[in-house]
Amino acid sequence: MHSQLVVSLSGIGPQTLDRCADLAAALGPRRVPLSLLVVPRELGRAQEWVRQRAALGDAVVLHGLSQRRLPAYEAGLLLTGARVQMDAIGLKADTFAPRRCVASPGTLLALAKHKFTRCADAHAVRDLGTGLATLGRLHALTERSSFGELRSLALVYATARSARRGGLTRITVDARDLHRPGARQAVLDAVDIALAHDAAPTTYVKLPSPRRAVAA
C-alpha cells in the first residue's frame, strides 16, 4: 500500500516570509504542494504570498485554538472571529489544524457546527461529517532550543518508516525553525525519502475522506 504525503507549514508571517517562499520553491520541482497553516491576524504582508500559493494549488488551513479544554461555545466564538478575519483578507478555509496539535472535544463540535469538513491534529486527519479518521502521526522539527543533527536524522528516519508502512505520512514545518543550519535540508531529505518510497504528495484539502480508520 503506497503512502500519501502531506507537508504542512506553520509560522507564516512577515518575518518568516522569505523562508516560506524558499521552502515552497524547493518543493516545486518535487511536485509537493504545501498545506499552509494560517493564523489570519499574524499574516501581515504574507497574506498576498498565501493567496498566490493557494492559486498554485497549495491548501489554506485555519490554524489556532490551542486550549485543550476549550468548550464548544467559546471555540465557536473564536472560529467566527477567525472566519471574519479570513474573509477580510480574501482567504477561505474549511480545514482546521489546532495549535499544539490537539483539538478539544468542544472545538471539534464547534468546527462541525461551523461547516468545517476536517481537522488535522497530532495523530490523525478527522472527517468532521462522519467522525472517521485517517491515522498518521505528525513528524516535525519542533524544539528550537535543541535542534541539531540528531533531530534532523530523527525526522528523516521517522518519515522513511511511515512511508514504508503505507497510509498517511505527515511532515510539519514551523517556518521559524528554518533559519537554523540544516533544518531546511532535513525537511527536504525527509520529503525525498518519502517520495523514494512512492509516497504520493497531496494536501489536507485534497486528502480523500476515510471510509474507515487506517492504522499509522
pLDDT tens digits along 132-172: 999 888 898 755 444 456 677 888 889 999 999 888 999 99
Q: What is the pLDDT of residue 61?
A: 97
CB atoms inside a 10 Å sphere around CB 71: 14
Q: What is the average per-residue pLDDT within 60-76? A: 81
Q: What is the pLDDT of residue 211?
A: 61
211 part of a folded domain:
no
Q: Please, are residues 172 and 178 in contact by the beta-carbon 8 Å criterion?
A: no
216 part of a folded domain:
no
Q: What is the pLDDT of residue 58?
A: 96
**Cα separation, 84 vs 65, whole angstroms:** 15
Q: Please, are residues 141 and 174 in contact by the beta-carbon 8 Å criterion?
A: yes
Q: What is the pLDDT of residue 216?
A: 39
As a residue count, the chain comes to 216
Q: What is the pLDDT of residue 1?
A: 60
**Can you point out the beta strands (E) in 74-211?**
95-98, 118-120, 124-127, 133-135, 138-140, 167-174, 200-202
64 part of a folded domain:
yes
Query: Is 13 a residue whose pLDDT tops 50?
Result: yes
Four-point Cα dihedral 122, 95, 34, 3, nearest 10: 60
88 part of a folded domain:
yes
Q: Is the dihedral of CA 156, 186, 143, 140 positive or negative?
A: negative
Residue that the C-alpha cell 457546527 belongs to: 113
36 part of a folded domain:
yes
| pLDDT band per the 50, 70, 90 thresholds, residue 120 | very high
Query: Is 191 a residue whose pLDDT tops 70?
Result: yes
Ranges 25-29, 72-76, 110-114, 125-129: which has the least confidence: 72-76
- Nine-digit cell at 66? 490551542
CATH number at residue 119: 3.20.20.370
Q: What is the pLDDT of residue 91?
A: 93
pTM above 0.85, yes or no: yes
Domain with 101 in it: 4-202
Q: What is the pLDDT of residue 160?
A: 92
Q: What is the pLDDT of residue 100?
A: 72
Q: What is the pLDDT of residue 168?
A: 93
**Cα separation, 161 vs 194, whole angstroms:** 9
207 part of a folded domain:
no
Structural domains counted in the chain? 1
- Nine-digit cell at 185? 535540508
Q: Please, are residues 189 and 152 in contact by the beta-carbon 8 Å criterion?
A: yes
Q: What is the pLDDT of residue 143?
A: 52
108 part of a folded domain:
yes
163 part of a folded domain:
yes
| pLDDT band per the 50, 70, 90 thresholds, residue 215 | very low
